[in-house]
Structure 1
């Protein structure tokens, strides 16, 4: 009998692996519906849906391995460039019907960011200077943008490759209309050394300062959530190190 591996688990959702099948358990059915819809529309490889019995979604494992993980080693430049080309294909696709995580308004983001920054300092999670500097950097992300088909949670651990070929992208629950540079920033977070590789594959004129701003913004917003859900943003190469690199 195959063992059950807990891939990730917190109060909002959990993912288990049994052999070549991933079981995603999500109490928010609207979020699960959005994931299924996004995978059906995305013009890039996604996991095969084996069956769905709410609150469980069963997905086939993808071939290959992930590009890497935040705070850990990653694959070579050619694979990152291939991933950049796949991301461009997604962003150039017809817009999906609903907004995604990358589609929050600048006004709403600024309000959330200000509240989070104040709490990070008050609760003693981060020093005021580090928060203030990164809040200033993050300002560049709060600007008008043209909607694109975005993944919304494009961590490198969500992109699978076999050699230099992208074999699939997982975890589409945050997908929808949004800011394309949010995806590029999420994908390169903690791996700034591969930004050039990704943009080589992505093509076009991309504002790197906005990507750097999203690194700060995303990391600031993530720290408290990660701590509260049992993750460690202080681990080497992770969110707090990203914030420190902006100093």
Structure 2
């Protein structure tokens, strides 16, 4: 019998791997609905849905290996990073999914509230929060919505021989800002941003990318710490915030 491996486990979601099958157990069925529909609509390689019996979704493993890991140097080639950029562009050029993404006003309110909690609870130094809140302002502007993955972490993009073999974890997909996807992919891996942009095939506003790096990190630090992850580890979210000082 194949070994059962816990990939991620917290109060909202648990993912198990048994051989080449991933079992995702999610308390929020709407989130799973989005994931299944987004994978069906996305014009890029995605995992095959094997079966679904709420609250469990079974998907097949994709070939290849992740582009990298936050906090660790990526061993992927510049060509692989460029291929990721090209895949993202293909997604962004696709028709919009039928469900909306996050509203700009809601995002700004969440950011203000989170910054206040980070300072009040002494999670981060006030000057670090204040500086990154100013940087994040660049991302808080109107954008033309595109089909976004919504959580395009480096561990969610798989490559083999410099080709994209699969993009996983689509539960945050929706209509959103194209530069958000590019920023999340390169969070903590700024040195690969030029390769991603080259593959994406168009100029981007670097100030907005920097804004999304700060915004995402500010919103994530406390949640990660409360769910068993370490945003203070070298190269992770707190280091991303410090790099903006």
Q: How does the TM-score come out when normalised to structure 2?
A: 0.98
1:5 aligned partner: 5
1:137 aligned partner: 135
* Partner Cα separation in structure 2 for residue 47 and residue 153 of structure 1: 16
1:243 aligns with 2:244: no
Q: What is the CA-CA distance between 1:32 and the residue it aligns to?
A: 0.4
Q: Structure 1 segments of 4 or more deviating over 3 A? A: none
Superposition pairs of residues 1-247 of structure 1, within 5 angstroms: 1-74=1-74, 75-99=76-100, 103-247=101-245
* Partner Cα separation in structure 1 for residue 107 and residue 49 of structure 2: 33
* Partner Cα separation in structure 2 for residue 55 and residue 39 of structure 1: 18
* Partner Cα separation in structure 1 for residue 236 and residue 110 of structure 2: 21
Which deviates the most, 70-79 or 80-89?
70-79
* Partner Cα separation in structure 1 for residue 33 and residue 108 of structure 2: 28
* Partner Cα separation in structure 1 for residue 49 and residue 104 of structure 2: 34
Per-residue CA shift, 1:129-151, capped at 9, x if unaligned?
00000000000000010000000
Q: What is the CA-CA distance between 1:205 and the residue it aligns to?
A: 2.1
* Partner Cα separation in structure 2 for residue 243 and residue 190 of structure 1: 10
Aligned length: 244
Per-residue CA shift, 1:211-239, capped at 9, x if unaligned?
11000000000001001111100000000
Per-residue CA shift, 1:75-124, capped at 9, x if unaligned?
1211000000000000000000012xxx3222211111111111101111
Per-residue CA shift, 1:136-176, capped at 9, x if unaligned?
00000000100000000000100000020000000000001
* Partner Cα separation in structure 2 for residue 198 and residue 145 of structure 1: 20
Runs (5+) with no aligned partner, structure 1: none
Which deviates the most, 224-233 or 234-243?
224-233
* Partner Cα separation in structure 2 for residue 67 and residue 240 of structure 1: 21
Give the match's secondary structure for 1:6.
strand
Give the match's secondary structure for 1:160.
strand
Q: What is the CA-CA distance between 1:73 and the residue it aligns to?
A: 2.0
Runs (5+) with no aligned partner, structure 2: none
